[in-house]
Every structure is written in structure tokens, then in C-alpha cells.
Amino acid sequence: MIRFQIIGETPSKKNSKIRTRTGYMIPSKAHQKWHTDAMLQLNSQICRMKPIPALIDYPVVISLDFYHGDYIRRDSDNQVSSIMDLLQDAKLLADDNWQIVRQIHVMNYYEKKNAKCVIKIDFYGHE
């Protein structure tokens, strides 16, 4: 099993888009800032692993534990999308289609002022 932790509240990419003058939809500056910071955190953790994990292009189960630092209403499915995009952008996950990501387990917790997401990736069939 591979385990990562991203500190901070995971924003929704879908609900924080901005329409440009030309009609394109782009993520908000707040989401872009989170993505850049989360990418640094993730890459730092990947570099410390021995051996460094290869691109995952085989069936896996992904567990996401979201720890919220407050009681603000959030949609878990949108947060999941942000994390899945992050894993692909970091070249850790080849794709998030069903042939690779066979199961996604999501749990939400409250931990006062300690927002984070714990990501666990395991071989499919080896939970």
C-alpha cells in the first residue's frame, strides 16, 4: 500500500471555475494555488519513498480520508475529483478510468483546524 497526506482543505475544482472572455472554463486562482501546493507536498512524499513508485497503470483501490477543519458544507464527489486530477498530474496515476481505479472509498471526518486528505492506494483485491 502507498500512503500520502495532503495538508489543507481540498477544494472543489468543478465548483470553483472561472469563465474567460473567450468562453473557456479554468480553475479559480484559489484552486490553482491549492493544486500547486498539493503537488509540491505529493512530489516531496514521492521522492522520499524507496523505491519511488512507478506510474500506476494497473487495477487499484483508492481510499480517501478527508479531515475537515470546520463544519462548512462540501461535496465529497467534487473533492474526490480534485484529488484524482492531482494524482494524474503528478504522474502517479495513469488514468482514473474504471479499468485502473476499480474502487474508491471515501470517508469524511471533523478535526478542528486540521484539514487534510489522507490518500491510500492499494492493489485491487489486496485491501
Domain harbouring 21, CATH code: 3.30.1330.70
The single residue listed with the C-alpha cell 468543478 is 14
24: three-class secondary structure by DSSP: coil
**Amino acid occupying residue 33:** K
Answer yes or no: are the C-beta atoms of 84 and 33 closer than 8 Å: no
Amino acid identity at 80: V
pLDDT (average), residues 78-89: 95
**Which domain, by its residues, includes 13?**
2-123
**Which tens digit of pLDDT belongs to each residue from 67-81?**
999 999 999 999 999
d(CA 106, CA 31): 21
Q: What is the pTM of this model?
A: 0.87
User: Whose grid coordinates read 485502473?
Assistant: 100
Residue 16 — pLDDT band, cuts 50, 70, 90? low
What is the number of domains present in the chain?
1
Nine cell digits for residue 22: 473567450
